[in-house]
Amino acid sequence: MDDQGCPRCKTTKYRNPSLKLMVNVCGHTLCENCVDMLFVRGSGNCVQCDTPLRKSNFRLQLFEDPAIDKEVEIRKRVLKIYNKRDFDFSSLREYNDYLEQVEEIVYNLTNNVDVERTKQIMEQYQRENRDVIQRNKVKLTREQEELEEILLLEQQDTEQRRLETLQEEQRQLQAKRKNKQALLDELERSQLPASILLAQHKDRAAQLETQIEKQKQSVKPTTIFSTGIPKGQTVSLAPVIRVEEVLYKYQPINVETYGPPLPELEQLDRLGYLNHVRTATPQDLAGGYTSELACHRALQDAFSGLFTSLV
Amino acid sequence: MKLNIEGLLVYFPYDYIYPEQYSYMLELKRTLDAKGHGVLEMPSGTGKTISLLSLIVAYQKAYPLEVTKLIYCSRTVPEIEKVVEELRKLMEFYTKETGEKNNFLALALSSRKNLCIHPEVSSLRFGKEVDGKCHSLTASYIRAQHHSNPSQPVCRFYEEFDAVGRQVPIPSGIYNLDDLKDFGRKKGWCPYYLARYSILHANIVVYSYHYLLDPKIADLVSKELAKKSVVVFDEAHNIDNVCIDSMSVNITRRTLDRCQTNVDTLQNTIQRIKETDAAKLREEYRRLVEGLKEANVARETDIYLSNPVLPDEVLQEAIPGSIRTAEHFVGFLKRFLEYLKARLRIHHVVQESSPQFLKDIYEKVCIDRKPLRFCAERLRSLLRTLEIADIADFSPITLISHFATLVSTYSKGFTIIIEPFEDKTPTIANPVLHFSCMDPSIAIKPVFERFQSVVITSGTLSPLDIYPRILDFRPVTMASFTMTLARTCLCPLIVGRGNDQVAMSSKFETREDFAVIRNYGNLLLEMSAIVPDGIVAFFTSYVYMENIVASWYEQGILENIQRNKLIFIETPDAAETSMALEKYQEACENGRGAILLSVARGKVSEGIDFVHHFGRAVIMFGVPYVYTQSRILKARLEYLRDQFQIRENDFLTFDAMRHAAQCVGRAIRGKTDYGLMIFADKRYARADKRGKLPRWIQEHISDGSLNLTIDETVQLSKHFLRQMAQPFRREDQLGLSLLTLEQLQSEEMLEKISQIAQQA
């Protein structure tokens, strides 16, 4: 890490620990002094690749490899335009294809492959999807939202814990002070000998200690409702995922009975089957029972399996 | 003998049995009956292993449909070998008793380094090298190349195994590592792959913890083991640390530099392949577009051990588009790497949670959470496509990819700590990124969910209730067994003061105190005069030991001690330590007597037994608390408090006491053995410390052995040693701590046995 240096004046981090390296859009490094010297007029060409640069575009180099600085810069710019979220797509596959396309653009721009054409593609995309881009600008991706939520919870937790301990300490301090004050008061007023009062005080102090100890052991209050939802939860605003499936279609079941075909329910009366069955009383009919049902059921039982042969 | 354990016929290969073994088997059977998990503590040296094996084997024979397999996890290779030997004894007993041939298959599994028989590969020294070399001979594409180009070297043992080894199952029997190797040599098959393949239908598998707990390895080796297995973790007092280590990642500047070379190599290889064989990359790309189909197919049968690194719902999805092509992925890795480098360039300590890290990485280098999550999977696929033979070279980048996947998958239970320098050397910049797991239950959860019975057992598990809490499971049995003794062969003494009445303690404030150091020296000196043969002394840390030994030297104590016994010292270097250990044993053997100064949590305290005259006394100087200022520990304590309601102090004391118990337990390795256990710190006398020692030690601490001075200690020890030195025969033990079958069946004894187990 100490061998990083400015390519122009050859100063290294080892020799000058306060050396600040800067990077511009082309991904080449210069130290701060050189930048000040070369770009006095506000613009000039890169020493290494002759790209015209502006002084205001120089940034502090964050990473050891300046190419990464350049890539991140480009990536941020591209992602500002290509900001579709996964719920803008109907399937995961399309979303993945989209992601790959974005990656391709970034890759091309960083490695100077087909720069002009890629830029054209980007511009075209920007024109076509202007309103989507505008709309998504404020929205976070679902994962980021989740993260934000977790972070918020974490913050709340630590804050609450801090407050709790603080309050606890305050209470203990107050109790101790009160105890001491009580002793002084008693010594002033009471008729009892001082030794007894001191002993009493000692007792009380010990009691207080055990109480504090006990409180420490007690389990802290719950922070969730009985349903498992935490108190004061922020609800994620990401839309529900659309489920696209084929609608269910009913298909009548065809049962193989291995027997002669049954007469239809309506035909039973006409074919005379009902003559052999007890007719339903009015009470039965009220309950939804009809003689056809019983008869039909009995016929099913009788007919099914007649054709099966015993092996 | 043949035992009847609540209606189960158990063959026990010895003529005598300890009462606690019987009680242990009872509890174990109840655990298996309930198909639940158990936590069992039984003192070392009382035959835990054989009790476990004989009961579970009997259970397997009686109910072959209920329990199909026993998975026995141990820590080290010698321990694995020991288990297999016991098992062999048991099986011989079975054959002798029943007179029929056994069709049991039991085998040990270890790393390639211990199992390889390839003449070139097995001569390599380090495990990693062996793995790498083996991979370069057996990878699928290497073998494919061999087809077209016979000069490409392959491993003939693997080829042979692959050709015929899978059709014929390995004949039943008991195989330890050497047996496997012999069998492999005879057949010309690779023993490692044979063992890995055979564990699927073996009745008993003995291997190391990591094959089940480390998600990276478990996914390869253990994922197809059946649900109806019983898993036993032996010597499991450290299991939480094993779990945590398997999920934690440490990244130094050096790792990143080596990653950089890895990435460059990747880029070059991609460039080269693109020119010569672009179809291969296109094929991979097509597969990735289709989704992680491969993995899906393998997972469909579902009873696999789920991989905590990649949750199932992730595997259902396709790799995100942004890292689908090889170039884009390499670009992604580069960005990630540069980001990590930038993060390591700091001057003060940073601690943050995974969500904070993810947010920051998005802001700095525009990396989303999703591609990070797929990083490990994508890298594996790329390495396979590029046909890189030497995987070992790529371990740094694999490490980084694991880190990426873990950090984006878990938002809870992990913390990231970046330290610019080590605590010891605050002036030298040596930045480290610790990605540390704070929740041991994450790694072990799939094991508990998957297998019907998991038994955690060790000599020191007290207090029992803390393990279910930190590992987050619900045991059906929790029991602690004592050692029944014909004579009290252990003598725990708590020494709190020197002869000058100055309190002895390794507490931070008195650590540098001259009087304390002198008193510690006097204690060791006095003991060296009265204890025969070997004494083992444990200190709380290497630094503390160095300080004390230096001032003992100045005070002339060391010279006096050396008149009585030789002194050996454990060092962080493994080779040096094993040398010292060897010489220590030699000095004990020939009667010169020796003292071994070692460190709690060191190598000696964990794996080495000091039987009989090798350890007649163990002295524990101070309470072995962990280094409490470490940030990782602080984060973990905070997490334990918030998630499991375990207070910092409770956990620290628990951790210190389990290591203290582990240290002093080294001396007693059986009922005929005897030894002094001296706790040299006044804090041991407090109820909260003492209560966390295992029950079999606690029982023998009477009020008379608390807060002693050195003189009193010497008196008590002399008395104890004289008593113990009397001849001790088997007949003395019979009926009390050693039972024959008839004695076991008597009413009175069964009554007594029922009191041995203490349910927690």
Given the cut 0.85, state whether the ipTM is greater than it: no
Peptide bond into B43 cis (omega under 30): no
Residues B682 and B696: their CA atoms lie apart, in Å, by 21
Contacts of A93 in chain B (CB under 8 A): 289, 318
What is the DSSP code (8-state) at residue B705?
G
Question: How far off is chain A from B439, nearest CA to CA, in Å?
Answer: 17
User: Where does residue A223 fall: left (phi above 0), alpha (psi -120 to 50 degrees), or beta otherwise?
Assistant: alpha
Same domain, B422 and B456: no
A 154-183 residues with CB below 8 A of B?
Answer: 154, 157, 161
Structure tokens at B401: 């990819």
B358–A147: do the CB atoms touch at under 8 Å? yes
Nearest to A79 by CA among B371, B334, B326, B368: B368
pLDDT tens digit sequence for B424-447: 777 788 889 999 999 898 888 888
Same domain, B430 and B450: no
Strand-pairing partners, residue B739, are B17
Nearest to B272 by CA among B377, B138, B388, B146: B388
**Residue B18 domain flag:** no
What's the rounded mean pLDDT across residues B280-306? Answer: 56
**Residue B11 domain flag:** no
**Residue B329 domain flag:** yes
> What pLDDT is stored for residue B257 in this prediction?
92
Q: Which residues contact A58 (CB under 8 A, 6 or more apart)?
A: A22, A23, A24, A30, A35, A39
Last residue of some domain: B427, B457, B480? B480
Q: Is the pLDDT of residue A238 over 60?
A: no
For chain A, give percent helix, strand, coil, nearest 5: 55, 5, 40
Residues B749 and B739: their CA atoms lie apart, in Å, by 9
At which residue do the structure tokens 């990464």 appear? A68
Residues B245 and B694: their CA atoms lie apart, in Å, by 25
3-state secondary structure of B453: strand
B359–A147: do the CB atoms touch at under 8 Å? yes
Q: Label the pairing between strands B490-495 and B475-481.
A: unpaired
Q: Label the pairing between strands B566-569 and B594-599.
A: parallel
The CB density around residue B254, as the number of other CB atoms within 10 Å, is 11
Q: Which residues contact B14 (CB under 8 A, 6 or more apart)?
A: B1, B50
At which residue do the structure tokens 């392959």 appear? B154
Last residue of some domain: B425, B458, B480? B480
**Residue B63 domain flag:** yes
Same domain, B549 and B695: yes
Nearest to B697 by CA among B723, B675, B725: B675
> What pLDDT is stored for residue B158 in this prediction?
87
Task: Count CA within 13 A, CB hemisphere, residue B409.
Answer: 23
Q: Label the pairing between strands B2-5 and B105-108.
A: unpaired
> What pLDDT is stored for residue B260 in this prediction?
92
Nearest to B72 by CA among B55, B89, B94, B95: B55
Output the DSSP codes for A225-268. -TTSPBTTPPPP-PPPPPP--PPP---------SSPPPPPTTTH
At which residue do the structure tokens 């239950």 appear? B441
Q: Please name the amino acid found at residue B601.
A: R
Residues A296 and B1: their CA atoms lie apart, in Å, by 70
**Residue B677 domain flag:** yes
Nearest to B49 by CA among B37, B57, B59: B57
pLDDT tens digit sequence for B224-257: 788 889 999 998 988 999 999 888 999 999 999 9
Count of structural domains within chain B: 3
Same domain, B344 and B446: no
> What pLDDT is stored for residue B298 in this prediction?
41
- Average pLDDT in chain A: 82
- Average pLDDT in chain B: 86
B411 touches chain A (CB under 8 A): yes
B553 touches chain A (CB under 8 A): no
A63 touches chain B (CB under 8 A): yes
What's the rounded mean pLDDT across residues A16-44? Answer: 85
Last residue of some domain: B480, B501, B535? B480
Same domain, B104 and B86: yes
Contacts of A143 in chain B (CB under 8 A): 368-370
B328 touches chain A (CB under 8 A): yes
Residues B323 and A100: their CA atoms lie apart, in Å, by 7
**Residue B239 domain flag:** yes
Q: Label the pairing between strands B414-419 and B534-539.
A: unpaired
Nearest to B661 by CA among B1, B28, B129, B43: B43
Rounded to 10°, the helix B631-644/B648-664 angle is 110
Residues A69 and B697: their CA atoms lie apart, in Å, by 63
Structure tokens at B611: 């039987």
Same domain, B260 and B348: yes
Nearest to B694 by CA among B669, B670, B659: B659
What residue of A is the nearest CA neighbor of B254? A1
Q: Is the pLDDT of residue A13 over 90?
A: no
Contact predicate B70/B60, CB 8 Å: yes
Position with higher pLDDT, A243 vs B27: B27
Of A70-79, A295-304, B178-187, B424-433, the one with minimum mean pLDDT is B424-433
Most confident listed range (A84-88, A178-182, B548-552): B548-552
Contacts of A79 in chain B (CB under 8 A): 366
Give B623's pLDDT tier (boundaries 50, 70, 90).
very high
B322–A100: do the CB atoms touch at under 8 Å? yes
Q: What's the CATH code of the domain at B532?
A: 3.40.50.300
Torsion of CA B158, B164, B169, B173, to 10 degrees: -60
> What pLDDT is stored for residue A224 in this prediction?
58
Q: How far is CA A60 from each of CA A12, A38, A41, A264, B498, rounded to the nearest angstrom?
A: 16, 16, 20, 88, 64
Percent of chain B with pLDDT strictly greater than 70: 96
Give A3's pLDDT tier (boundaries 50, 70, 90).
low
Strand-pairing partners, residue B419, are B432
Q: Nearest 5°: phi and psi at B157? A: -70, -40
Q: Which residues contact A253 (CB under 8 A, 6 or more apart)?
A: none
Contact predicate B696/B24, CB 8 Å: no
- Interface-testing mutation among A100, A101, A168, with chain B (most B C-beta atoms within 10 A): A100
Print the SS3 string covering chain A: CCCCECCCCCCECCCCCCCCEEECCCCCEEEHHHHHHHCCCCEEECCCCCCEEEHHHCEECCCCCHHHHHHHHHHHHHHHHCCCCHHHCCCHHHHHHHHHHHHHHHHHHHCCCCHHHHHHHHHHHHHHCHHHHHHHHCCCCHHHHHHHHHHHHHHHHHHHHHHHHHHHHHHHHHHHHHHHHHHHHHHHHCCCCHHHHHHHHHHHHHHHHHHHHHHHHCCCCCCECCCCCECCCCCCCCCCCCCCCCCCCCCCCCCCCCCCCCCCCCCHHHHCHHHHCCCCCHHHHHCCCCHHHHHHHHHHHHHCCCCCCCC
Of A118-122, B146-150, B663-667, the one with minimum mean pLDDT is B146-150
pLDDT tens digit sequence for B693-716: 988 898 899 888 888 999 999 999
3-state secondary structure of B715: helix
Total-model pTM: 0.79
- Interface-testing mutation among A20, A99, A149, A215, with chain B (most B C-beta atoms within 10 A): A99
Question: How far off is chain A from B322, nearest CA to CA, in Å?
Answer: 5
Same domain, B549 and B694: yes
> What pLDDT is stored for residue B311 in this prediction?
57
pLDDT tens digit sequence for B516-536: 999 999 999 999 999 999 999
What residue of A is the nearest CA neighbor of B291? A93
What's the rounded mean pLDDT across residues B592-616? Answer: 89
3-state secondary structure of A60: strand
Contact predicate B433/B348, CB 8 Å: no
Contacts of B355 in chain A (CB under 8 A): 147, 150-151, 154
Residues A39 and A54: their CA atoms lie apart, in Å, by 8
Contacts of B318 in chain A (CB under 8 A): 92-93, 96
What's the rounded mean pLDDT across residues B187-205? Answer: 88
A224 touches chain B (CB under 8 A): no
Same domain, B118 and B86: yes
**Residue B741 domain flag:** no
Same domain, B238 and B266: no
Contacts of A103 in chain B (CB under 8 A): 321-325, 328, 331
Structure tokens at A59: 């940034």
Contact predicate B470/B236, CB 8 Å: no
A101–B321: do the CB atoms touch at under 8 Å? yes
Residues A53 and A67: their CA atoms lie apart, in Å, by 16
Contacts of A161 in chain B (CB under 8 A): 642
Residues B397 and B263: their CA atoms lie apart, in Å, by 8
Same domain, B407 and B467: no
Residues B467 and B474: their CA atoms lie apart, in Å, by 10
Residues B349 and B352: their CA atoms lie apart, in Å, by 10
Q: Is the pLDDT of residue B296 over 50?
A: no
B645 touches chain A (CB under 8 A): yes
Q: How far is CA B702 from each of CA B492, B521, B553, B705, rounded to the nearest angstrom?
A: 9, 25, 35, 5
Structure tokens at B712: 């009193």
**CB–CB contacts below 8 A, A to B:** 90
Same domain, B693 and B668: yes
> What pLDDT is stored for residue B307 in this prediction?
46
> What pLDDT is stored for residue A1 in this prediction?
46
B328–A63: do the CB atoms touch at under 8 Å? no
Q: Please name the amino acid found at residue B585.
A: Q
**Residue B8 domain flag:** no
Give B306's pLDDT tier (boundaries 50, 70, 90).
very low
B321–A154: do the CB atoms touch at under 8 Å? no
> What pLDDT is stored for residue B291 in this prediction?
60
For chain B, give percent helix, strand, coil, nearest 5: 55, 15, 30
Same domain, B577 and B514: yes
3-state secondary structure of B709: coil
Residues A26 and A41: their CA atoms lie apart, in Å, by 19
Percent of chain A with pLDDT strictly greater than 90: 0
Structural domain harbouring B454: 40-246+442-480
3-state secondary structure of B6: coil
